[in-house]
């Protein structure tokens, strides 16, 4: 009888929990496809509809300049990708690459002559929300048309590479002369842990990296042996004018520093989305189970605690730049992006910021992601934030000396702790008390 009763309660509990086979982004309480957005693009759309903002038409780049201004995205963030690996691939080739622009929350994709501008905008609850902006000129003061995209974008933006949740995906490929990736040679998923020698295949790169060779600026002439391509010819390129007509774009740059920041940022954004989704699903499942078994509402099982740990630990590693590929020489960009990026961050009394760049041995001078200030990080479920902050303090205080954080010196840990205490709202009291 006991076993039968327990089994009945187990079945009742699972009736309120979505099947494990259901896509994570559609499981309760996520409901991504029908969720209303509170992201920067949704906010801009509301301001346009209310008459507070008007996007001016530009004869050269349609709505792009006005859109970047309205979203506070620096033009210096421009990077160019010429491989046919995106939504507008039929328009893209080495002579007409796709331009990407970004700030901390929004990514914008533009192809000269394209019918639409693509946008990925970070919603605090739901992660990336995808939109297109019609590039057709509107007469009579009619506002340009934004459309939210779901299934069409999720065909590529939900995969094992994004933890089966909506996310960003950067790839390095062996491109042929038309920009087609030579898939038989394989591709590289690009993030901060990738060695430079595997980065930026199919991308233009302006800037210097010394003796550190990358795959940018080069096409593979031999389709049978693309891995034998001489990529040194594309390294330390500062001017793209011999490769394409750069006057089609807002700047002639595809800045190497912007590319590195883009890789860091998309990687951490995906980890924030993962932690949010998994924790919210975990707490939903726990509430259903507690209800079915007649346990207190706030009861937390070992399984629930373990699931929260699994959701948070990868985010902690990403925020603290664990496993980042080390640089062996100085990186220098061409567009001024490094300065534009650094001036945006809050600073402590000593003038230090989590947006300070190193670019000699690693990306950030103080290896803690500036996305810890983002609305999406602050919107993590309380259970995730509680776990994250405790683990972050363990590392920064020196209690955790595990190999995952061996790249952080004592000076690094103290500097990051001091900067956070001075600039980050919402820290638990024990952060400041420790000082």
Rounded to an integer, the average pLDDT of 197-224 is: 96
Decide: 359 and 332 in contact? Cβ < 8 Å.
Answer: yes
pLDDT at 10: 35
Residues 6+ apart with CB under 8 A from 400: 391, 394
Q: What is the mean pLDDT of residues 349-366?
A: 98
Question: How far is Cα 233 from Cα 144, in angstroms, rounded to an integer?
Answer: 42
Residue by residue, what is the 3-state secondary structure of 167-192? CCCCEECCECCCCCECHHHCCEECCC
Structure confidence at residue 139 (pLDDT): 61
pLDDT for the residue 21: 56
Q: Phi first, then psi: what are they for 383, rounded to 5°?
A: -65, -35
Residue 82 contacts by C-beta under 8 Å, 6 or more apart in sequence?
92, 93, 94, 95, 96, 97, 98, 175, 179, 202, 203, 204, 244
What was the pLDDT predicted at 19? Answer: 46
The side-by-side arrangement of strands in the sheet containing 79-81 is 146-149, 127-134, 116-123, 106-110, 98-102, 79-81, 203-204
pLDDT, average across residues 272-276? 97
**Quick one: average pLDDT of 48-73?**
94
Separation CA 203–CA 218 (nearest Å): 8
Rounded Cα–Cα distance for residues 75 and 253 (Å): 10
Instruction: Indicate whether 382 pLDDT > 70.
Output: yes
Mean pLDDT of the chain: 92
Q: Decide if pLDDT at 6 tops 50.
A: no
What are the backbone dihedrals phi and psi of residue 98, each rounded to the nearest 5 degrees, phi first? -85, 135
Is residue 2 over pLDDT 70?
no
Q: Is the pLDDT of residue 117 over 90?
A: yes
Confidence at residue 435, expressed as pLDDT on a 0 to 100 scale: 66
Name the percent of the chain in helix, strand, coil, to the closest 5.
40, 10, 45
Q: Let me know: does 101 contact 75? Beta carbons within 8 Å.
A: yes
Q: Is the pLDDT of residue 357 over 70?
A: yes
DSSP 97: P
- Say if CB 150 and CB 132 are below 8 A apart: no
Mean pLDDT over 313-327 rounds to: 98
- Average of per-residue pLDDT across 313-340: 98
Over residues 144-157, the mean pLDDT reads 86
pLDDT, residue 169, reads 92
What mean pLDDT comes out for the span 69-80?
98
* Helix or strand holding residue 108 (H, E): strand 106-110
Please report the pLDDT score of residue 141 as a whole number.
61
Q: What is the mean pLDDT of residues 175-204?
A: 96
How many Cα atoms within 13 Å fall on the side-chain side of residue 245?
5
Residue 213 reports pLDDT greater than 50: yes
Give the pLDDT confidence score for residue 12 in this predicted structure: 33
Of the chain, the end-to-end C-alpha distance in Å amounts to 58
């Amino acid at each position: 009888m006991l076993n039968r009763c327990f089994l009945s309660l187990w079945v009742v509990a699972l009736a309120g929990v979505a099947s494990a086979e259901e896509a994570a982004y559609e499981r309760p309480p996520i409901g991504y496809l029908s969720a209303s957005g509170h992201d920067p693009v949704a906010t801009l759309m509301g301001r346009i509809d209310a008459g507070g903002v008007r996007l001016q038409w530009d004869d050269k780049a349609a709505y792009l300049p006005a859109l970047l201004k309205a979203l506070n995205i620096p033009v210096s963030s421009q990077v160019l990708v010429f491989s046919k690996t995106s939504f507008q691939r039929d328009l893209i080739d080495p002579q007409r690459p796709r331009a990407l622009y970004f700030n901390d929350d929004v990514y914008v994709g533009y192809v000269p002559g394209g019918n639409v501008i693509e946008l990925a905008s970070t919603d605090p609850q739901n992660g990336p929300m995808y939109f297109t902006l019609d590039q057709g000129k509107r007469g009579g003061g009619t506002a340009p048309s934004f459309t939210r995209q779901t299934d069409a974008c999720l065909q590529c933006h939900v995969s094992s590479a994004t933890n089966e949740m909506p996310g960003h995906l950067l790839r390095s490929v062996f491109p042929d002369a038309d920009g087609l990736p030579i898939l038989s040679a394989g591709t590289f998923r690009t993030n901060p842990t990738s060695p430079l020698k595997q980065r930026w295949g199919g991308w233009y790169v302006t800037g210097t990296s010394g003796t550190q060779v990358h795959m940018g600026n080069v096409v593979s002439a031999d389709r049978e042996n693309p891995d034998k391509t001489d990529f040194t010819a594309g390294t330390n390129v500062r001017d793209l004018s011999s490769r394409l007509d750069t006057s089609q774009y807002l700047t002639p740059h595809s800045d190497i520093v912007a590319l590195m920041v883009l890789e860091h940022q998309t990687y951490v954004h995906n980890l924030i989305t993962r932690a949010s989704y998994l924790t919210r699903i975990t707490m939903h499942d726990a509430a259903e189970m507690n209800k079915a078994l007649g346990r207190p509402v706030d009861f937390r099982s070992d399984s629930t605690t373990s699931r929260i740990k699994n959701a948070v630990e990868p985010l902690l590693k990403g925020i603290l730049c664990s496993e980042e590929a080390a640089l062996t020489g100085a990186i220098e960009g061409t567009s001024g992006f490094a300065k534009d990026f650094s001036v945006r961050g809050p600073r402590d009394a000593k003038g230090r910021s989590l947006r300070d760049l190193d670019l000699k041995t690693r990306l950030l001078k103080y290896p803690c992601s500036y996305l810890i200030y983002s609305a999406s990080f602050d919107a993590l479920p309380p259970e995730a934030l509680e776990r994250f902050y405790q683990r972050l303090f363990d590392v920064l205080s020196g209690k955790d000396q595990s190999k995952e954080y061996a790249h952080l010196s004592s000076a690094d840990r103290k500097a990051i702790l001091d900067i956070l205490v001075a600039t980050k709202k919402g820290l638990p009291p024990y952060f400041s008390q420790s000082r």
